[in-house]
Amino acid sequence: MGDADNADYKESNIEIFDTVDEVKATAIVLAAGKGSRMHSDIPKQFMTLGDYPVLYYSLKAFQDSPVDDIILVTGEDYVEYCRNDIVDRYNITKVRKIVTGGAERYDSVHNGLIAADGAKYVLIHDGARPCITQKIITDSIDAVKIYSACTVGVPVKDTIKIVDEDQMGVDTPDRSRLWQVQTPQSFNRELLLTCYDGLAHDKCQVITDDTMIVERYSSVRTKVIMGAYENLKITTPEDLKIASNFLKKDVDTKMVK
């Protein structure tokens, strides 16, 4: 998109969605999943990574960032645990509300969105991504102010293959156009709420992230900005080991002599 187009685009988005006076950014941190692919007794966001629960790291990152406040979304059975053993214990004072999630990720996002009243922008983040950085957060805030809908992501490193039901290759998309999407995904809150209304009338879709919802239920184009390969989502047991290494930051790039 050229600069001139970009300016027009920015202008039109502001015209449609700039109805909240306060320029407030709220992080919605999702921690209501069951973590079925982790096969552990407790949800992965509460497993221990280094000295802290996985969820602590992203809450602490938002606490130390320019966001105004945080909505934490978790399972009914974990609200007290989150309040006492994470939020209060580690003094995460920006947590304004802890609300319960729903059966699907998008149900949890929706509950968080409703709770984030007064926010102009929302940054939706997986509590299972502990390696989020300050740069990712500030870049997301800068981008959402321009585009109204954006996600962080990284260019894919491997070739991606589309296969059929017999696992036979049917296509190999151009890798230079493929990005792996991460969180935070950041939106003008009113825009995303409107798109969720569209989703409510059309629940047969397979929805895996929120930029998809904006792409399907509005004409607003979503921007993809650079995240970080370190910003992985803890999904399966080996991811804990990888994240633990990233968080230690003790890699030395010098040659051993």
Which residues would be at the binding site for ligand CTP (CB under 6 A)?
30-37, 45, 73, 101-105, 107-108, 126-128, 233, 235
Report the nearest approach of ligand CTP to the CB of residue 104 (Å): 5
* Minimum CB distance to ligand CTP, residue 35 (Å): 4
- Is the Cβ of residue 112 or residue 145 nearer to ligand CTP in the bound state? 112
Q: Which residues pair with 187 in a beta bridge?
A: 122, 149
Nearest of 57, 27, 239 to residue 131 by alpha carbon: 57
109 contacts 124 by C-beta, under 8 angstroms: yes
Cβ-based nearer residue to ligand CTP, 101 or 153: 101
Task: Name the minimum Å distance from CB 38 to ligand CTP.
Answer: 6
In the block, tokens 């983040």 appear at 125
Answer whether 131's CB lies under 8 Å from 247's CB.
Answer: yes
- Smallest gap from Cβ 100 to ligand CTP, in A, equals 10
Residue nearest to ligand CTP (CB): 33
Instruction: Give 45 or 222: the residue with its C-beta nearer to ligand CTP.
Output: 45
Q: How far is the CB of 15 from ligand CTP (least distance, A)?
A: 32
Smallest distance, ligand CTP to C-beta of residue 29, A: 8
**Which CB sits closer to ligand CTP, 16 or 199?**
199
- Please list, residue by residue across 23-33, b when 16 or more beta carbons sit within 10 angstroms of its beta carbon and e when fewer do: ebbbbbbbbbb
Least separation in angstroms between residue 23's CB and ligand CTP is: 27
- Indicate the residue among 73 and 149 with the shorter CB distance to ligand CTP: 73
As given in the structure block, the two tokens for residue 243 are 């994240």
Strand-pair category, 95-100 with 223-226: unpaired
SS3 38: helix
Contacts with 87 (C-beta within 8 Å, 6 or more apart), sequence order: 59, 72, 95, 98
What is the C-alpha separation between 180 and 197, in angstroms, rounded? 27
Comparing CB distances to ligand CTP, the nearer of 73 and 144 is 73
Of 20 and 247, the one with the shorter C-beta distance to ligand CTP is 247
Q: How would you classify residue 35: left for phi > 0, otherwise alpha for psi between -120 and 50, otherwise beta?
A: left
Phi–psi pair at 169, nearest 5 degrees: -60, 130
